[in-house]
Chains A and B, each alone.
Chain A
Amino acid sequence: LAKTTQPISMDSYEGQEVNITCSHNNIATNDYITWYQQFPSQGPRFIIQGYKTKVTNEVASLFIPADRKSSTLSLPRVSLSDTAVYYCLVVLYSGGGGNKLTFGTGTQLKVEL
């Protein structure tokens, strides 16, 4: 699976939009991009998944350019409760061989007042 690279940490203030970019240069045709959020001492929580262009749900947007070598997670109007680690993952979309998730070290987002 493609290796992902994302910033180690980011700081923001309440009410701002936060964009976290992830690079995955070796992404394959059948790979999807998935983002998880993790709070201390809790399990990761799925945020959003996409293949190309733009995906939006109630908590975030995911922007994927045509070459799919990078992706950007956008969190609109963050609050203190968005302080967490955010992981970018590349996941094989289909197949019965299994769907293990390969996590990197993630991006620690800190939101302040």
Chain B
Amino acid sequence: DAGVTQSPTHLIKTRGQQVTLRCSPKSGHDTVSWYQQALGQGPQFIFQYYEEEERQRGNFPDRFSGHQFPNYSSELNVNALLLGDSALYLCASSLGLAGSNEQFFGPGTRLTVL
């Protein structure tokens, strides 16, 4: 049973460019969340998708957008990249929106903005 998978593993972009990161949830899971983790910090919540809709959003600008597909996979898009967007981007999946449901994290995508 595959866990949460993310692609690509690493990515290097320059300021002003746009990037798309992808996530496939754990089999059977229908909820996907995205987190940004800067070096030495804990993950920060970006947003969460359920039934192809954004259900919650953290304190991130509109440059960060996402999408969930009918097969529950998800994309994170970041426009007009800034140096400060360099981070590990984590995807987590769960079954439903209840806080009691364990969230499973993927290995992350390391984004470097030059």
Q: Do A and B bind each other?
A: yes
Chain A residues near B (Cβ < 8 Å): 32, 41-46, 49, 85, 87, 91-106
Chain B residues near A (Cβ < 8 Å): 4, 31, 33, 35, 40-45, 48, 50, 55-56, 58, 88, 90-92, 94, 97-108, 110
Tell me the dominant secondary structure on chain A's binding face. Answer: loop
Q: How many A-B residue pairs have CB under 8 A?
A: 80
Contact A97 B45 (CB under 8 A): no
- A96 to B104 Cα, complex, angstroms: 18
A102 nearest in chain B by CB position: B45
B106 nearest in chain A by CB position: A43
Name 10 extra pairs, CB < 8 A, besides A44-B43, A46-B104, A101-B43.
A42-B105, A42-B107, A43-B4, A43-B106, A46-B102, A98-B48, A99-B98, A101-B33, A101-B103, A105-B41
Contact A93 B92 (CB under 8 A): no
Chain B residues within an 8 Å CB radius of A99? 31, 33, 48, 94, 97-99, 101, 103
A-B pairs with the 9 shortest C-beta distances? A43-B105, A103-B42, A98-B56, A91-B99, A99-B99, A100-B45, A92-B99, A98-B55, A46-B102
Chain A residues within an 8 Å CB radius of B99? 32, 91-95, 99
Contact B4 A100 (CB under 8 A): no
